[in-house]
Structure 1
Amino acid sequence: MMKRSLSILSLGIILLESAVTAALAAPPRPADQDVSCEILVVGGGLAGAATAYEGLLAGRTVCLTEITDWVGGQISSQGVSALDERPTQRERRYFSRGYLELRDKIKRYYNDLNPGDCWVSESCFLPKDGHRLLAQILQDTARKGKGTLKWFPNTVIKELDITPATAQGNTNAGGQQIQSAIAIQHSPAPNTRPINTEPLSQTIEDAYRYDNSARFQKKILRFSPLQPRTSTNQRPANWYVVDATETGELVALADVPYKLGIDARSHLEPSASSTTQDPYCTQGFTYTFGMEQTQQPQTHREPSFYQQYAPYYSYELKRLASFPLVFTYRRILSPGEGKEATFGGIKFTEPTPGDISMQNWTWGNDFRPGTSADNLILTSEQLQAAGQLQPGGWMGGLRTESLRKGEEISQGYFHWLVAGTTDSQLGDGVKQPQPNNRYLTGLDSPMGTVHGLSKYPYIREARRIIGRPSYGYSEGFMISEIDMSRLDFSTDYYRQNLPPEMYRSLVTALAGVEASAVASNSLALDKVKRRSRSRIYPDSVGVGHYAIDFHPCMAKSPPEAPGNTDREGERRGAGQAFPFEIPLRSMIPQKIDNMLVAGKGIAASHIAAAAYRVHAFEWSAGAAAATTIDFAFDKGILPYQLVDELPRSEPQLVELRQRLNAQGNFPAFPNTSIFNESWEGWR
């Protein structure tokens, strides 16, 4: 290890002293504020909050930026304040320590973990409380760990200063580092309306421009490393940058390799809906909103755009075609006690006046574009064409028009719920008006916006990095469908639709301890018993468990077109998953050595990402990112050097995993072993 440490130190000195940096556009004026930190976390969702939480407990100086003014992402600014969890993991409380603290704080505040009495989750609550409670946790954590939190709401990253590659001859070494970042923080211009008056589509482009506007005043921030306390304390990296954004913004801005949308069908992704990659078909996104049941009927005006989206709305399935069922699905506050009811085999309590529901419904307020004309998250080619990858050109990497339509389809969905009489999937006579409900708006509403929509849409799929090449992953590391899916891949569909060699490779990959026998043809394919667990990674630094849950793109453009359907085959990979792991390799991008990716941007395939996207996973990934960074500082190494010799022994990787486990940030589920096939009971 001494030889490695000396080479690391030399590389670090070269990077720090290099006078040649990547092209960086000059802002219109010098930075209004210089900010230094050891960890710059971009994105204040649950992954970002978890990174900050563990960084603060380690006594680090953490800068946390967020495009909205709320911390918490899914539980707050995106309005998805219904924790997506699986029963066994919840019953055993096998979550990261910070996530458990958050759940416990919610329970103490309401005297109930589920104040909404929803039936989709064991915990549904108000988004505004999610922000407030999590913000308090971070403040308390900073005091407890003697760390420093520098919180920057209403802030976006505009530019990255990246050194050119210096490492040669090592495919695992990226050789580049982020030296600084330029950000823009906005606040209301004098005598204007407050933040959160207008929906995101009307403000996002303004937020990424340097110049003051009639709407916003701008402060230019320059983030850079906090220098070591002593001159002799040389590090290979003086700070780390974590992309915890919802769409993989820094992944695109830094131009590291990534994927979007459908992966080509292979033995690793056998349920893929296409034989070729399609970057435009990502999972749908959703603007959530709150609605309240009232004692008296309300007057509802039809939005001017309603008829455009009316052909889309539906209860989707007959067993779900009940307004009380849909209302209570994600009910986030229930001060009364409704009568017990059952519909479609689902038990719930009927809504009563004063109940508040958060709406997040596939054939309701999901917006599901899937073509190059309307995809939300722009590809690298689209970004290049738009000039967003030129110095000073970054504008967030999203299609503003699709944001606007997502807002409209959501507001139209409320009108359908209360006044609609059509159903696109179930036909006439199913949908009945429900006038005793009102749409909640205002800065004191559950979403904290004048317009009533969530401050940011719920994003289900981001730009997903391609990890660095490693043993068994010559094209770059990636978590795939077969690494965690419970699907029966021996069915006729896979036997008949996969080429023979691809099917053999699939069976071999799933054979577990029998893999060598299959590979040598000493065991017939139809005699193979597939493994009954997820893939076990030697570099696992976190855990998660959720179903592979699809909100697929639509077949035609525009998504709301009459008669439109899901993209054919997109739901084939949906289903239950085994408890799964978060390998460190999935968080390390190519090219850049002082950057980690947490949350939805990890190296996971399109199908795998449909499970790796929920609340507890995001927290676990963020906790792993911060602990890995703290460990790298302590050991004087770079994160990729913890995994660059796999599958050979990595003693420091073992030490990192021991640290995570001792913290209560579990790197693996109990009794994880290649010989343990007892995972069917994990619901």
Structure 2
Amino acid sequence: MRGPASCSGCGVDSVGDAGDVAGPPSSAATGVKVVDGVVRTVTVADPQTGAQSVITAEFVLDGTETGDLLPLTGTEYVVGTEARSDTGEPSAPDVADPANVQSIAWCFVFDHAAGDHTIARPDDYDDWRSFELPYWGAPMLSFTAPDPRTLVPEQRTMIVNPEQDVSGDPRFDAGDRDLWQFRRIAARQTFTDGLYDSDIVLANWPQLDYVGGSIIDTDERARHLAAAKAQSRAYVHWLQTEAPRPDGGRGWPGLRLRGDLVGTSDGFAQAPYIRESRRIKALTTVREQDISVASRGSGAPARFDASVGVGMYRIDLHPSTGGDNYIDVESAPFEIPLGALVPVRTQNLIPAAKNIGTTHITNGAYRLHPVEWNVGESAIELTAFCLDRGLSPQQVAAEPALVDQLQRRLVEAGVELHWPEVVGY
């Protein structure tokens, strides 16, 4: 069997799996044929029509949001929290829990316009209005949320259409205490006068984090997706009708959902933001002590043999479905080890997203979009390298000379493999 590599599920899988609560669906993998640890075919189906297609290829890249091909192909994987006794990680819990994953968030985009753009009061609005986590310090429908590092509940603000300087330096002020500025995607002051009547804001805030249950390996997936969107819908209505304004009033009826910018009729994103996936059991698993500044005793770059990329982000875990508050650990600039992209057994399936060999803890750093993008690029280059030479990823990872050749290919493709010894501003 000789053919191109197939990226199965490179669209957002939750769209295909939950077309009734999301936007336009994409094909979703429904079946596979695996022989002696080799994926021979992947069957995908259109969730609207049911039409099926069978993909045949030498390699399969799993780019789904939750690693959906792993259980289908019998590829060994981990999901949720590992026990500290399994990983040795200081921040890991005593007991493993596959159902304990980071919260998801159903985002939306909005601006502020003349007139009343208040959405209909959701039927479950009172339920969400009274919902409060034990450690949150206020109901979720509020401007309160814990500080990720101190865990102390803090009051945020929202100043709609602020006439203020937009040249602040995020290295010194993250700008995350005012929700209008936090995730703002278009500041009107930076554009030609009159182009925008309002700033445009992407809502991806702590108050949208849904902790009601995991959407992975559960029959309750559709219910949890619907509930996550309902939480965000309730928050929109609260912002429009009850949120405290700086002038002492309540609510901004002029807040307007911008479905035209996200491709939906209701103004909400086509799919939720999913922070955590199934993760392959890999030749190399990145653990907290590999990248944590405290565990390593140094902020120098965390290096791995056979690096296929770089990343930089704190170990940042949002509140979880198992009742955990934020986990926030300083990490060093880190590299992406080739072994994290290589399953222990399945020969021709390569993870291409958040489903690489990390733990629940280190996923909090490797989940970030630039790192995930790097994983996808390196997975493609690894696939092409294996196709050119008739090798499996396991064979490449086991032979230093082949690793060197792969790394040269990555460098030629523009992939950075190492941080400089001193990283700073």
Same fold (TM over 0.5): yes
Q: Which residue of 1 aligns with 2:64?
A: 245
Q: Given residue 459 of structure 1, which amino acid in structure 2 is its aligned partner?
A: I
Answer yes or no: is 1:478 the counterpart of 2:285: yes
SS of residue paired to 1:310: helix
SS of residue paired to 1:248: coil
Contact 1:42 1:66 in 2 (8 A): no
**Match 1:651 to one of 375, 383, 401:** 401
Contact 2:302 2:333 in 1 (8 A): no
Count of residue pairs brought into register by the alignment: 380
Root mean square deviation, CA, Å: 2.9
Distance across 2 between alignment mates of 1:43 and 1:433: 40
Distance across 1 between alignment mates of 2:375 and 2:332: 18
Contact 1:43 1:67 in 2 (8 A): no
Answer yes or no: is 1:399 the counterpart of 2:399: no
What fraction of aligned residue pairs are identical, expressed as a percent? 27
TM-score, length of structure 2 as denominator length: 0.81
**Match 1:313 to one of 125, 134, 141:** 141
Distance across 1 between alignment mates of 2:306 and 2:118: 57
SS of residue paired to 1:157: strand
**Match 1:270 to one of 90, 94, 117:** 90
Q: Which residue of 1 aligns with 2:339?
A: 585
Q: 1:329 deviation in Å?
A: 1.3
Q: 1:406 deviation in Å?
A: 0.7
Contact 1:417 1:434 in 2 (8 A): yes
Q: 1:241 deviation in Å?
A: 0.2
Q: Which residue of 2 aligns with 1:39?
A: 5
Q: Given residue 114 of structure 2, which amino acid in structure 1 is its aligned partner?
A: Q
Contact 1:485 1:534 in 2 (8 A): no
1:353/1:432 CA distance change after superposition, 3 Å: farther
Q: Which residue of 1 aligns with 2:316?
A: 549
SS of residue paired to 1:577: coil
1:309/1:66 CA distance change after superposition, 3 Å: closer
Q: Given residue 282 of structure 1, which amino acid in structure 2 is its aligned partner?
A: V
1:431/1:414 CA distance change after superposition, 3 Å: farther
Q: 1:454 deviation in Å?
A: 1.2
SS of residue paired to 1:218: coil
Distance across 1 between alignment mates of 2:266 and 2:251: 23
Answer yes or no: is 1:451 the counterpart of 2:266: yes
What are the residue-to-residue correspondences of 1:125-136 with 2, within 5 Å? none
Q: Which residue of 2 aligns with 1:417?
A: 239
Distance across 1 between alignment mates of 2:190 and 2:390: 58
Q: Which residue of 2 aligns with 1:229?
A: none
Q: Deviations over 1:400-453 (max 9, x none)?
A: 110110110011111111212589xxxxx9994222212234xxx111111222
Contact 1:484 1:577 in 2 (8 A): yes
**Match 2:252 to one of 430, 434, 440:** 434
Distance across 1 between alignment mates of 2:353 and 2:104: 16
Q: Which residue of 2 aligns with 1:355?
A: 199
Distance across 1 between alignment mates of 2:205 and 2:128: 14
Distance across 2 between alignment mates of 1:67 and 1:610: 20
Distance across 1 between alignment mates of 2:61 and 2:70: 10
SS of residue paired to 1:44: coil
SS of residue paired to 1:625: helix
Q: Is the helix fraction higher in 1 or 2?
A: 1
Distance across 2 between alignment mates of 1:430 and 1:460: 36
Distance across 2 between alignment mates of 1:217 and 1:632: 36
1:282/1:66 CA distance change after superposition, 3 Å: closer
Structure 2: tracts of 5 or more residues without a match: 17-21, 131-139, 146-152, 161-177
Contact 2:99 2:321 in 1 (8 A): no
Distance across 2 between alignment mates of 1:584 and 1:550: 24
1:535/1:250 CA distance change after superposition, 3 Å: same
Q: Deviations over 1:74-98 (max 9, x none)?
A: xxxx99xxxxxxxxxxxxxxxxxxx
Q: 1:276 deviation in Å?
A: 0.9
Distance across 1 between alignment mates of 2:32 and 2:203: 37
Structure 1: tracts of 5 or more residues without a match: 1-15, 17-35, 46-64, 70-77, 80-127, 129-152, 166-175, 186-206, 208-215, 226-238, 339-351, 387-397, 424-428, 469-476, 490-509, 511-529, 556-565, 672-677
Contact 1:543 1:617 in 2 (8 A): yes
Q: Which residue of 1 aligns with 2:395?
A: 641
SS of residue paired to 1:295: coil
Q: Which residue of 2 aligns with 1:473?
A: none
1:409/1:67 CA distance change after superposition, 3 Å: closer
**Match 2:210 to one of 344, 367, 370:** 367
**Match 1:533 to one of 272, 296, 300:** 300
Q: 1:297 deviation in Å?
A: 4.4
1:431/1:285 CA distance change after superposition, 3 Å: farther
Q: Given residue 382 of structure 2, which amino acid in structure 1 is its aligned partner?
A: T
Q: 1:535 deviation in Å?
A: 3.5
SS of residue paired to 2:84: coil
Q: Which residue of 2 aligns with 1:329?
A: 182
Q: Given residue 160 of structure 1, which amino acid in structure 2 is its aligned partner?
A: V
Q: Which residue of 1 aligns with 2:326?
A: 571
Answer yes or no: is 1:184 the counterpart of 2:31: no
SS of residue paired to 2:266: coil
Distance across 1 between alignment mates of 2:383 and 2:234: 45
Distance across 1 between alignment mates of 2:73 and 2:185: 38
Q: 1:43 deviation in Å?
A: 3.0
TM-score, length of structure 1 as denominator length: 0.52
Q: Deviations over 1:18-42 (max 9, x none)?
A: xxxxxxxxxxxxxxxxxx9411102
Distance across 2 between alignment mates of 1:376 and 1:610: 18
1:571/1:583 CA distance change after superposition, 3 Å: same
1:621/1:432 CA distance change after superposition, 3 Å: same
Q: Given residue 53 of structure 2, which amino acid in structure 1 is its aligned partner?
A: L
Contact 2:286 2:358 in 1 (8 A): yes
Q: 1:335 deviation in Å?
A: 3.8
What are the residue-to-residue correspondences of 1:4-83 with 2, within 5 Å? 37-44=3-10
SS of residue paired to 1:221: strand
Q: 1:467 deviation in Å?
A: 0.9
Contact 2:211 2:321 in 1 (8 A): yes
Distance across 1 between alignment mates of 2:230 and 2:155: 27
Distance across 2 between alignment mates of 1:480 and 1:162: 30
Distance across 2 between alignment mates of 1:668 and 1:322: 40
